[in-house]
Amino acid sequence: MNKVDLSKYNNDWYSPGANVLKRTFWYYTNRIFLQSYWLPISFIKVLLLRLYGAKIGKGCNIKPGINIKYPWKLQIGDHCWIGEGVWIDNLAEVKLEDQVCLSQGAYLLCGNHDYTKSTFDLKVKPIQLGEGAWVGAKSIVAPGVKMGTHSILTAGSVLTSDTEAYSIYQGNPAIKVKARSIEA
């Protein structure tokens, strides 16, 4: 049987999309202004994210205590909500279309490792959340997932595959449990 050999791990092929100076400044900006709870003012966070290359629409509400890996790989539509403790680990592009809600502690994960390789190679894939999608509290969205328009991932669930529009998903791994209907 082969074994994992982490001494041979190499992700030189991966580019975070910014030079080391920009990444360093972002690290401290993120720690001081986004991850902390002392600055509850959303529009300042939006301005900082835009300054570092995020594309953010109007009316975005960002709560304290969030973590964003690389803002230059982030696109947020109009009137999106990002709750406390959200972590957007965007080693690849993350796109939130309009009216998306990320509840407290949600985790969007764009990177993983290839457990079939002895070198434990890094794998990255983008995430896209369709218009009106809602990721429940303490839920995880895995690399490469596309959530359909107005679909829901319930609290504490793990989404490893794409969702259908107007559908509710639950569990680990999340499965479709019913259709979503929205009253006027």
pLDDT tens digit sequence for 93-151: 999 999 999 999 999 999 999 999 999 999 999 999 999 999 999 999 999 999 999 99
Q: Is the pLDDT of residue 39 over 90?
A: no
pTM of the model as a whole? 0.95
CA distance 161 to 144: 8
| Token couple for 171 | 């569990």
Strand-strand pairing, 101-102 and 167-171: unpaired
Mean pLDDT, to the nearest integer, of 77-94?
98
CA distance 9 to 16: 17
Report whether CATH 2.160.10.10 matches the domain 17-179.
yes
CA distance 121 to 112: 8
CA distance 161 to 115: 18
